[in-house]
Amino acid sequence: MPDDDKPEEPRKVPGSALIRGILNSLGSSIPVIGGVLGAAANAWSEQEQEAINTFFRRWLDMLEDELREKAQTILEIAQRVDLHDEQIADRVSSSEYQTLLRKAFREWAAAESEVKRVIARNILANAAASQIVSDDVVRMFLDWPKTYSELHFEVIGKVYNNAGITRAGIWRAIGRERTREDAPEPDLFKLLIRDLSTGSIIRQHRETDYHGNFIPAKKQARPRGTGPAPPTSTFDDEDPTS
């Protein structure tokens, strides 16, 4: 949940530190909130209590929205998998899959958009219906919505669906116009590519042999007296990406 949407704490009210402690202990467990409010009712004066009540009401509203999103996600997962299939039913009810669900929902505060909620839902649905990859890999995928922005995922999608696409091709595919190299957009694009490259999500395409081993690239010697090679453009349209 974005920080901008969080209700402001009543800083002038005595016991603000206690409020923070209560919130830290609550998590998403709505049933205990009523008891907490009752126990705290005598901690402040009537005027102060009204400020506290307003503060908690806003938190309750956000927690209810969060629970609705989680319930919607679970229903959508159920619609996408065949729960009549014995193998899938066993998988969904397994402790391993429940662990994946808990991890996804723990990270929910970081998934600040509908796009990222759908990404998490698709990961969980695929993990329920298929075990092509291990749960360790699924857990890594569940970390991605917290780590990467929607624009990162746009780039990942273009690379995945267009084998050997160049950086210039990626830029065009996400609907951006080429700009000067000293403009802000190339710096942003370089940051995106660097994030995904250092995260080992994308890499420059390399030829492989029959066994999948990378073939060393042939170095092209520059004629003497031509000076150093010119810098590569941010929107290079020659080297493929994979």
Q: What is the pLDDT along the chain (242 residues), one digit of tens a residue?
A: 445 555 554 444 444 444 444 444 444 444 555 555 555 555 555 556 667 677 777 777 777 777 888 888 888 888 888 888 888 888 888 889 989 988 888 876 655 688 888 888 899 999 988 888 899 999 988 988 888 888 889 888 888 888 888 888 888 888 888 778 778 888 888 888 899 988 888 877 667 777 677 677 666 655 665 555 555 666 666 666 75
Residues 6 or more apart whose Cβ sits within 8 Å of residue 223: none
Residues 6 or more apart whose Cβ sits within 8 Å of residue 44: 13, 14, 15, 51, 52
| C-alpha to C-alpha distance for 59 and 89, rounded to whole angstroms | 35
SS3 211: coil
Model pLDDT, residue 42: 54
| C-alpha to C-alpha distance for 33 and 116, rounded to whole angstroms | 28
SS3 208: strand
Residues 6 or more apart whose Cβ sits within 8 Å of residue 129: 80, 81, 82, 88
Residues 6 or more apart whose Cβ sits within 8 Å of residue 30: 60, 63, 64, 67
Torsion angle in degrees (nearest 10) through CA of 126, 128, 134, 140: 60
Q: Which of 57, 62, 51 is nearest to 5 (CA)?
A: 62
Model pLDDT, residue 109: 62
| C-alpha to C-alpha distance for 192 and 233, rounded to whole angstroms | 15
User: In the block, which residue shows the tokens 């796009």?
Assistant: 115
| C-alpha to C-alpha distance for 100 and 142, rounded to whole angstroms | 8
Q: Which of 40, 50, 45, 42 is nearest to 18 (CA)?
A: 40
User: In the block, which residue shows the tokens 């700009």?
Assistant: 179
How far CA 198 is from CA of 27, 108, 194, in Å, comes to: 33, 25, 6
SS3 232: coil
Model pLDDT, residue 48: 64
- Domains in the chain, start-ordered, CATH in brackets? 1-75 (no CATH), 81-145 (no CATH), 148-216+230-242 (1.10.10)
Extract the tokens encoding 206.
């390399």
| C-alpha to C-alpha distance for 169 and 202, rounded to whole angstroms | 14
